[in-house]
Structure 1
Amino acid sequence: MAAALMRHRYGTSVDVHSAGTRPGGSLNAASVDALAEVGASVDGEHPKAIDPALLESVDRVVILGEEASLQQVGRTRVERWITDEPSTRGIEGAERMRLIRDDIDSRVDALAKELGLP
């Protein structure tokens, strides 16, 4: 979600990559639907593992959630975003994904400002 939202909002002014520590077999359909509602696309994306060489070449790594684990790589800044989890309040389905999307979107915007993106 974070990568799709960053690309949607800031386009080619930032180079964005998405990967996981334990990638699944397919993208989460509910996430894809929530992204589509705001015009963010995941076209061409698929679950993939982190590329160690790429990891060393980027300026920032964002880890979503508490479960993923990643060791510090060189001087690359790693930050963790603990996102809202609406299911803890009994919110499920499309509304849950919208709330998660909106939480991530606000963090994407803050990161973009920190990076000096237009």
Structure 2
Amino acid sequence: MTEPLDTTAPHVPSVLFVCVKNGGKSQMAAGLMRQAAGDAVRVASAGTRPGDAVNALSAEVLREVGVDITRERPQPVTDALVADADLIVVLGREAVVEPADGTPVETWETDEPSERGIDGVERMRLVRDDIAARVRELTARLSAR
């Protein structure tokens, strides 16, 4: 006998974070969202032209705040990932994602410290902190629904 479908279970929103290589900013956003929202949000990340590995400095500065993305691997944006998302967040100006069936797309033009001559781990910490603030705001919005 099959169990009846539980229609009282609350909908868990899903967010797809996208950047070009899926090695830095989108992986950082996904890791920070998992930390901030736990099981209250389903999280995925992908790239429009994925690279080969997660950016080592991105992983290093996330470890400083208790987030481990070292086991993550860049993956391409697929129709299935887009269709599964309730919200698509594009990080940066270069990646472009066409939404499916009216799925909202937000673009976060994140801080780019290298434009101010700040590089290395110092740059990545500033990027992390900018993304973390945006993730906290998004988490609050999603939990208010």
Where do 1:94-105 residues align within 5 Å? 94-105=121-132
Equivalent position of 2:47 in the other structure: 20
- Count how many residue pairs are aligned between Structure 1 and Structure 2: 117
SS at match of 2:47: coil
Equivalent position of 2:98 in the other structure: 71
Q: In 1, Cα distance between the equivalents of 2:99 and 2:36? A: 28
**Which of 13, 38, 46 is matched with 2:65 structurally?**
38
Where do 1:44-55 residues align within 5 Å? 44-55=71-82
> More helix by proportion, 1 or 2?
1
> Structure 1: 5+ residue runs without aligned partners?
none
* 4+ residue runs over 3 A deviation: none
CA contact (8 A) 2:89 2:105 kept: yes
TM-score, with normalisation over the residues of structure 1? 0.94
Percent sequence identity over matched residues?
50
Displacement after TM superposition at 1:64 (Å): 0.5
Check if 1:81 corresponds to 2:108: yes
Pairwise CA RMSD of aligned residues?
1.2
CA contact (8 A) 2:59 2:70 kept: no
TM-score, with normalisation over the residues of structure 2? 0.77
Equivalent position of 1:4 in the other structure: 31
> More strand by proportion, 1 or 2?
2
CA contact (8 A) 1:8 1:41 kept: no
Q: In 1, Cα distance between the equivalents of 2:57 and 2:84? A: 31
CA contact (8 A) 1:65 1:82 kept: yes
CA contact (8 A) 2:36 2:139 kept: no
Displacement after TM superposition at 1:44 (Å): 3.4
Equivalent position of 1:61 in the other structure: 88
Equivalent position of 2:138 in the other structure: 111
SS at match of 2:44: coil
Look up the equivalent residue of 1:37 and give its one-letter code. E
Displacement after TM superposition at 1:116 (Å): 1.3
